[in-house]
Amino acid sequence: MVKFNSEYTYADVTPKSYWLNRRKLMMGGAGAVLASTFAGNVWGKAFPSPIASPYSTDQEPHSFEDITTYNNFYEFGTRKGDPANNAHNLTTEPWSVKIDGLCDNPGEYSVHELIEKYPIEERIYRLRCVEAWSMIVPWIGFELGKLIEDSIPSSNANYVAFETLVRPEEMIGQRSGFLDWPYREGLRMDEAMNPLTILSVGLYGDVMPKQNGAPIRLVVPWKYGFKSIKSIVRISFTEEMPPTTWNDQNPREYGFYSNVNPNVSHPRWSQASERVIGTGLFAKKIPTLMFNGYEEHVAHLYEGMDLAENY
Amino acid sequence: MAYSQQINGWLRKIPAWPLYFLLPIPGIYTFALALLNQLGPDPLYELIRTFGERGLQLIILTLLISPIRRWTGVSLLKYRRAIGLVSFYYICGHMLVWIAIDQGWNVNTIIEEIIKRPFITVGMFGFLTMFPLAVTSNNYSIRKLGALMWNKIHRLVYLAGAAGVIHYLLVVKAWPMEPIVYTVIVAVLLAIRLWWKINKKKKKPA
């Protein structure tokens, strides 16, 4: 079993210049060579040997720099660089996640307990933001479904609701009321149980950077990024569809499902294509795939549903 | 008033023409960074946003010149044309990057986007209001049109400012600080004009 070791910091782990250089090298076409170097890396990381997953894409992940400097995490400000600048104030230790609502085995677990209890995998997923950009992230985490099974949800538990920490002293964005805090998200039970859905505790083999939703966040790769709620403190089982932050803020633009769907245009952004982050000013956009390319794993969840209506 | 006279005296020695070179420098710098891939992970969006924001800032600056003169006596009037024209260049850059790089000159989707997306519709409207301002920002036009007509045309800048901030409010998600701040500033500057107009009418004999 993989042990979590909080003594390590990023400085111990990977020389930053290496990550920074990597992007430049990739542009020179040396990406494949480097990728193989990475697979067998020898540095002391928090998760040195996560289980590889058949759900991972074989596409090249984005650089650590891209993934950690281009973030939507409004708790730390609304600009893409704000989380990287402001999230260092967040205290992530100790941290516990409360499981409650309609279930027979509620509880409160520290992130350490969860990491020890569940098999830690690497999941290299495509991430598609509703703002029509995308990147590829090598997440570290475990299947949410396993935690749900252990919580023994009641038969009338139809939905799973999630909540982010509220701590305005450390989360500067929460001092303004541009969203109704806490950030809330939700999934239908079958979506939450799908093996693609993970609780992620890290990326690039190490603990989760704070700007990416430390210490534990949801990743639902076939939905727009805002569904993948960050810095979770509470998971509840509910009978009714739970309220979700962006849906409350603007129900016409952000539906509860928010599946990636190139055929359903957003009032502000065409969803037919996406610009890939980190590919430069003149990079061509790529077509957006149905369910972000995870159609074979999730299309059955929505059989018979009108996806234009249930956007 | 003595101070303002003194400042105006100094200003007489400072010509307006260097502004045509100085004000575009931040934009050229940003564009260079984008070309060198030094503008972060998403240079396209960053470039579009920066050009738009700089354009809006300069429009606001042109709207500030009259109130400053009325309240402090300091006249920056001779710099207004340069500031206004450079604001137009920034908005042209803002639009051109969107048309050429973001949309790749695809006329059909560009037209579709303008019609379909309210923030683009409003933005395009704002650009169109700036066009007559830009082409008449020269002494020849003032002579040709007459001061009265020319002034009337140049009130279009109020529409441009309003369109600019509405465009900004519509493009962002939720309610972040910057567009709200710009909106409040433009609203105040336009309200001042309205106030002046009402007062002027009151003073006129019935």
Is B117's Cβ below 8 Å from some Cβ in A? yes
| Token digits of residue A298 | 């999730």
Residue A100 has pLDDT above 80, yes or no: yes
Collect all residues of chain A within an 8 Å Cβ-Cβ radius of residue B176.
Answer: 78-79, 178
Q: What is the pLDDT of residue A17?
A: 41
Cα gap A184→A11, rounded to integer Å = 33
Phi, psi of A113, rounded to the nearest 5 degrees: -60, -45
Q: Which of A133, A135, A178 sits opposite B174 (nearest CB)?
A: A178
Cα gap A176→A69, rounded to integer Å = 22
pLDDT band at residue A43 using 50, 70 and 90 as cut-offs = low
Is A49's Cβ below 8 Å from some Cβ in B? no
Q: What is the pLDDT of residue B201?
A: 81
The 3-state DSSP class for residue A52 equals strand
Chain A nearest-CA distance from B106, in A, is 13
Q: Which of B47, B117, B176 sits opposite A281 (nearest CB)?
A: B47
Residue A192 has pLDDT above 60, yes or no: yes
Is B166's Cβ below 8 Å from some Cβ in A? no
Question: So where are chain B's domains?
Answer: 2-198
Alpha-carbon distances, residue A244 vs A250, A266, B3, B196 (angstroms): 10, 18, 58, 47
| Token digits of residue B101 | 């790089």
Residue A38 has pLDDT above 90, yes or no: no
**Residue ranges in chain B modelled with pLDDT below 50:** none
Query: Would you tell me how many other CB atoms lie within 10 Å of the CB of residue A309?
Result: 9
Query: Stretch A109-132: mean pLDDT, rounded?
Result: 97
Cα gap A57→A135, rounded to integer Å = 12
Q: Mean pLDDT of all residues in chain A?
A: 89
Chain B nearest-CA distance from A22, in A, is 14
Residue A14 has pLDDT above 50, yes or no: no
Residue A297 has pLDDT above 60, yes or no: yes
Alpha-carbon distances, residue A53 vs A57, A174, A201, A269 (angstroms): 9, 36, 16, 32
Q: Which of B40, B43, B176 sits opposite A178 (nearest CB)?
A: B176
A45-63 residue pLDDT tens: 899 999 999 999 999 999 9
Q: Which of B30, B31, B38, B42 to mutate to test the interface with A (most CBs of A within 10 A)?
A: B42
Q: Which of A271, A255, A270, A269 is nearest to A311 (CA)?
A: A255
pLDDT band at residue A5 using 50, 70 and 90 as cut-offs = very low
Answer yes or no: are the C-beta atoms of A281 and B37 closer than 8 Å: yes
Q: Which of A64, A69, A268 to mutate to test the interface with B (most CBs of B within 10 A)?
A: A268
Buried b / exposed e along A124-138 (16+ C-beta atoms within 10 A)? bbbbbbbbbbbbbbb
Q: Which of residues 247-276 of A touch B (CB under 8 A)?
A: 249-250, 265, 267-268, 270, 275
Distance of CA A159 to the CA centre of its chain: 19
Q: What percent of chain A has pLDDT over 90?
A: 82
Q: What percent of chain A has pLDDT over 70?
A: 86
Query: Stretch A92-102: mean pLDDT, rounded?
Result: 97
Q: What is the pLDDT of residue A97?
A: 98
Q: Count H helices and E strands in chain A, helices first.
A: 10, 13
Query: Stretch A18-26: mean pLDDT, rounded?
Result: 43
Q: What is the pLDDT of residue A129?
A: 97
Residue A10 has pLDDT above 60, yes or no: no
Q: Which of B40, B43, B104 sits opposite A69 (nearest CB)?
A: B40
Q: Which of A65, A78, A81 sits opposite B176 (nearest CB)?
A: A78
Residue A4 has pLDDT above 70, yes or no: no
Is B55's Cβ below 8 Å from some Cβ in A? no
Question: So where are chain A's domains?
Answer: 10-302
Question: What is the interface pTM, i.e. ipTM, of the complex?
Answer: 0.86
Q: Which of residues 91-110 of B touch A (CB under 8 A)?
A: 101, 104, 109
What Rg value do the Cα atoms of chain B yield, rounded? 19
Phi, psi of A204, rounded to the nearest 5 degrees: 50, 40
Is B172's Cβ below 8 Å from some Cβ in A? yes
Residue A114 has pLDDT above 80, yes or no: yes
A212-259 residue pLDDT tens: 999 999 999 999 999 999 999 999 999 999 999 999 999 999 999 999
Is B11's Cβ below 8 Å from some Cβ in A? no
Q: What is the pLDDT of residue A42?
A: 45
Q: What is the pLDDT of residue B38?
A: 93
Alpha-carbon distances, residue B7 vs A270, B68, B73, B74 (angstroms): 52, 13, 9, 7
Write down the CATH superfamily of domain A10-302.
Answer: Oxidoreductase, molybdopterin-binding domain (3.90.420.10)
| Nearest Cα residue in chain A from B179 | A78
pTM of this structure: 0.86
Answer yes or no: are the C-beta atoms of B102 and B117 closer than 8 Å: no
